[in-house]
Structure formats: C-alpha cells, structure tokens
Amino acid sequence: MINKEFLEGLGITDEAAVKSITDTYNADIQTEKDSTAAVQKQLDEANTTIKSYADMDIEGVKKSAADWEEKYKKSEADRLAFEHRTKVGNMVKGLKLKDSIYEDYLTNQLIEKQLKFEGDKLIGGDDVISSFKEAHPDAFQTERVPPKFSYDTHGSAATGVTGVEAAFLARNPGLKID
C-alpha cells in the first residue's frame, strides 16, 4: 500500500509530491474496486440466471410446446375442414335443390368422398352430383308455375269478388286471368 510513510521511507519527502502520488494511487484503487464490483454483479446475475435454467423443468417445457403444436395443427385442420365444408355447401346450394334435407345429404356425400377443389371446381363432384340426380330426380326444383287466380268457386263469372281480390283487380285493370 502506498501511503505517506511508505513514500518517506523511499526518500520522497516533498509534501506536494507525496499528496499527488497518494491521491492518484487511491483513485486507481477506487476505480479497480468499482470495476471489480461491476464484474461481481454481472457474475452474480449470470449465476442466478444459470440456476433458474437448472431449476427449470425442461421436459415440461418441451411437453407444453408439443401440446401447443398439436393444438395448433388440430385447429388448422378444423379450420380447413370448415372452409372446405362451407365451399361444398355453397356449391350445393347453387344446384337449387327443393329443401335443406337434400342439400345436407348431397353435401355430406361430397365431403365423405374427400374431393378437393381446383379453383372453384370440385374435382370428381360432377360424377357424384350426376348419380344423385339419377337416384333423386324429384330433389331438384323445377320451373315455378305462377299461381292461377280464381274469382269464384261456383263456376260463374267474377261476381263475388270482394276485399283483397277487388283491390287487386282495381289496380290492375288490364290483367288477363285464365
């Protein structure tokens, strides 16, 4: 340790020189202490982090990651299946079937075949739809026949027209009725 007695023992007796040397030495010592404290703090933090990794359940984390990956894959498969079912359902609705029972039946048949879309075309779907048409020709809507108006159920001329029928005929005087 460099202090006043040490320097006087070396033959340095000038008060200003002794003070300058001891101040510089003490400042250097303080800098080294601060540096050592900073390195010790970093070392302590690193040891704490390493200990937390050692205490961590790595197998549990791996299992959790695998579970989440499986959930993601299932969710994605469900989303794709829903998207496919919706697209098939919309295509079947365009066929103008008489009711939703036929639509559901045909949609399920197409989905069971696991046919894929290429753009907007369901590959192999025409074959399934053709066989459905052959098996169930009455399932499809036909041209709508407009209803015939009848004035009287007695077979005579339109003498008993009242209420809504009269108002309709009044608004449509040129209407030809069979």
Q: How many CB atoms lie within 10 A of CB 122?
A: 20
Q: For 98, what's the count of Cα atoms within 13 Å in the CB-facing half-sphere?
A: 10
Q: Does 140 or 104 have the greater pLDDT score?
A: 104
Whether 70 shows a pLDDT value over 90: the answer reads yes
Q: Which of 56, 119, 110 is nearest to 88 (CA)?
A: 110
Name beta bridge partners: 121: 118
Query: What is the spatial distance between Cα 22 and Cα 16, in angstroms, rounded to a whole number?
Result: 10
- Residues whose CB falls within 8 Å of the CB of residue 84, separated by 6 or more in sequence, listed in order: 111, 117
Give residue 80's pLDDT: 92
Model pLDDT for residues 136-173, shown as the tens digit of each residue = 888 887 776 555 555 555 555 555 566 777 788 778 87
**Does residue 102 contact residue 139 with C-beta atoms inside 8 Å?**
yes
Residue 142 has a pLDDT of 74
Expressed in angstroms, the distance from the first to the final Cα of the chain is 128
pLDDT band at 76 (very low <50, low <70, confident <90, very high): very high
**pLDDT of 75 strictly over 80:** yes
> Which amino acid is located at 9 in the chain?
G
